[in-house]
Amino acid sequence: MLIYQKMNDQAKRRILFVDDEPMVLKGLQRALRKMRDEWEMTFTSSSKEALDILGSGSFDVIVSDLRMPDMDGVQLLAEVKSKYPEVVRIILSGQVEQETTFKSVQLAHQSLSKPCDADILKHTLNKLFALRNLLEDESIKRIVSQTETLPSLPTVYTKVINELQSSEPSVKKVGEIISTDLGMTAKILQVVNSAFFGLVRKISNPKEAVMLLGTETIKALVLSVKIFSEFNQKKFAWFNFDVLFNHSLSVSMFAQTISKEEHLDQNLVNNSLMAGMFHDLGKLILVTNFQEPYRRILTEARETRQNLWDLENEEFGTSHAEIGAYLMGLWGLEYPVIEAIAFHHCPGKCLSKSTGLLTAVHFGDAYDRLKNSSNDQNSGNGLRQLDRGYLDNLGLANRLNDWQTVCKELTERKV
């Protein structure tokens, strides 16, 4: 049965709600009535009808239930993701559906729990729209359109992900997939055997690495090692890719540690490595595609101690943060990772009002620059570049000492 109700044709954002329980839909309609001046809302009780409705007009957002009889929310969002990738996907789930929610995480930009509060939904949507607007900026499109070497998602990474998402994922198979790429295997073994990982014995093959470090760490390592290996150091001798790789690795470890310290939810802790590893991904694009201007502004940032991202904005109208986030969006990485990358230098501009991946990456980045201020390719202002207003607003000013202590412990293990 289709419950089709347009609450206001003039509203700017078009949102489709899908839930097989009529009572839930009625509750949503009631709760969200106050939004009708801003949103045009359509409600349906069937996933199949939801797809028909999406096909008949342009929607900005789909908010879907998980458990539905004809086609569940996971299947529905997978279909929406492939047919209408521009539509923002939100899952609304009940308490009992946490396990399925976990499966749907990669398909949804955001998961919210029932009953849905109008203010939370409004805040969530505004946040998603703000990030989308930021990444739809003309300057980013111009940069990306002039880019000859936009890295694509490596096949070896998608193979690892497919294995991990299969019905019976096997550590042995993941190890075998990694082993097929000898260069990448050597680099991964070198990284995991560094003191940073604090392992008591030497790891000699990828399978052992997966077993000891876990799949989340391996996923982040496979992707980052492979991406960095595609850049030819000899062609860009003026930029040290190893320094950036080591900085990215350090930030990922700091971000993971802080995520755990702040008891972020497990999915965010898992994603902290990915966000840290790729927070400066945009620099790789700028180095390899805009050699002359970028070399000049890197030197200027170092010599004048100005913020690199301010100089990038002057030159390109955007910065490595937004460019990296844009690319991660193209790769389909999860929303909190994209948000953390996009705002890692200016977290106050993000509409998120809670401690999250962005907080962890922002601090990890500043802390690593403080530790490496003597040889950083950026201006080494370290913790002075922390956005104190942002941290104060989250009530985190008193956490900085603890964070420095745990990061210092990690660094000392590394040395």
Q: Which residues bind Fe ion (CB under 5 A)?
A: 280, 365
Q: How far is the CB of 276 from Fe ion (least distance, A)?
A: 9
Residue among 142, 114, 135 nearest 24 (CA)? 114
Output 181 or 365, the one with its CB closest to Fe ion: 365
Q: How far is the CB of 374 from Fe ion (least distance, A)?
A: 16
Output 42 or 378, the one with its CB closest to Fe ion: 378
Q: How far is the CB of 283 from Fe ion (least distance, A)?
A: 7
Residue among 227, 240, 236 nearest 281 (CA)? 227
Q: Which residues touch 181 (CB under 8 Å, ≥6 apart)?
A: 156, 226
Residue among 206, 227, 228 nearest 217 (CA)? 206
Q: How far is the CB of 370 from Fe ion (least distance, A)?
A: 12
CA 120 to mean position of chain CA atoms:
21
Q: What are phi and psi of 282, to 5 degrees?
A: -55, -30
CA distance 144 to 140: 6
Output 72 or 280, the one with its CB closest to Fe ion: 280
36: alpha, beta or left? (left if phi > 0; alpha if psi -120 to 50): alpha
DSSP tally for the chain: helices H, then strands E:
21, 5
Beta bridge mates, 13:
39
Output 60 or 280, the one with its CB closest to Fe ion: 280
Q: How far is the CB of 321 from Fe ion (least distance, A)?
A: 6
Output 280 or 334, the one with its CB closest to Fe ion: 280
Q: How far is the CB of 400 from Fe ion (least distance, A)?
A: 18
Output 39 or 254, the one with its CB closest to Fe ion: 254
